[in-house]
Amino acid sequence: MIADEATMKVYLDSFVQQALQEDIGVGDHTSRACIPEDSRSRARLLIKDPGVLAGVAVARHIFRHVDPQATMDVFLDDGTAVSEGQVAFEVECNTRALLLAERVVLNIMQRMSGIATLSNRFKFEVEDLPVKILDTRKTTPLIRLLEKWAVRLGGCHNYRFGLYDWIMVKDNHIDACGGIRQALERVEKYQQEHNLQLGVTVEVRNLVELYEVLEVGKVTRILLDNFEIPLLKEAVATVGKRFETEASGGITIHNVRQFALTGVDFVSVGALTHSVHSLDLSLKVIK
């Protein structure tokens, strides 16, 4: 996980409350009309697509939020490869509470499982190579923690969580600052003044910028953005082991292995979280 247990609980409490409020509004009139207040039911989470399951722990938190007496029997854990027809878990709780939670549980589990599934496909493509596949900040607002959790469940890796835990000097920073040297020198000064020791990535768009970075130094990693494969291979060889190297831009499941074979240390893929097909799941009352 990418957060400690206490931080995760605070986040989930807030997330669940807001997600339920969005759906419930002034109340679930259908359930109030149809279901006795003290009714209890058991439901089953059905897998309808092959993939990698994610969000079971979140579902447990949601059900216990709507009914502290809710119980779950989990048959398939987060990160498990699943196939159509399997049952992930069964939950028993107050029927009205179950129906309140149903859509929130399905929405987040389908999204997380889609991310985990795609991440696992990328991992499979390069698992025999010494490269790490990274996610990005191209996430859905307010559920970044859950989406990055799903990336890890699929076998890939998290990059920076936000703007605060890693310094990334991108093209806009460089252009607004007046150049690579100016930007990197200011970053170094800023870290010294604020007693920081954050990792520093600098983005380069061509070999001219790469050579300037190599001359200046003061970085952890060089991000080679939108480099074609032959040029990327040359750039990685030029850097050698002086700094970490990362490739980004235009990377898909069909070409990720070609990028990885250049010898780059990291490949960052925004598609892990922004271009995902949700896994089809359903929650059915069984008694």
Average pLDDT over residues 174-184: 96
State the pLDDT confidence band at 7, using cuts at 50, 70 and 90: confident
* Model pLDDT for residues 115-171, shown as the tens digit of each residue: 999 999 999 999 999 999 999 999 999 999 999 999 999 999 999 999 999 999 999
Selected catalytic residue, list 92, 102, 147, 225: 225
Domains of the chain: 5-116+277-285 (3.90.1170.20), 157-268 (3.20.20.70)
* pLDDT > 90 in the chain, percent: 96
Q: Which of 138, 181, 205, 257 is catalytic?
A: 138
Catalytic residue among 78, 135, 147, 203: 203
Active-site annotation holder among 32, 170, 242, 284: 170
CA-wise closest residue to 58 among 97, 93, 110, 118: 110
Between helices 207-216 and 180-193, what is the axis angle to 10°? Answer: 40
Q: Quick check: is 203 catalytic?
A: yes
User: What is the pTM (predicted TM-score) of this model?
Assistant: 0.95
Whether 1 shows a pLDDT value over 60: the answer reads no
Task: Report the distance separating Cα 287 and Cα 268, nearest Å.
Answer: 46
Does the annotation mark 170 as catalytic? yes
Q: What is the CA radius of gyration of the chain?
A: 23
Which of 103, 160, 186, 257 is the catalytic position? 103
Structural tokens at position 117: 């599934």
Residues 6+ apart with CB under 8 A from 198: 165, 166, 167, 191
Please say if 233 is a catalytic residue.
no
Pairing label, strands 221-225, 200-204: parallel
pLDDT tens digits, residue range 82-124? 999 999 999 999 999 999 999 999 999 999 999 999 999 999 9
Model pLDDT for residues 51-60, shown as the tens digit of each residue: 999 999 999 9
Provide the sign of the torsion angle of the four alpha carbons 174, 180, 185, 188, taken in this order. Answer: positive
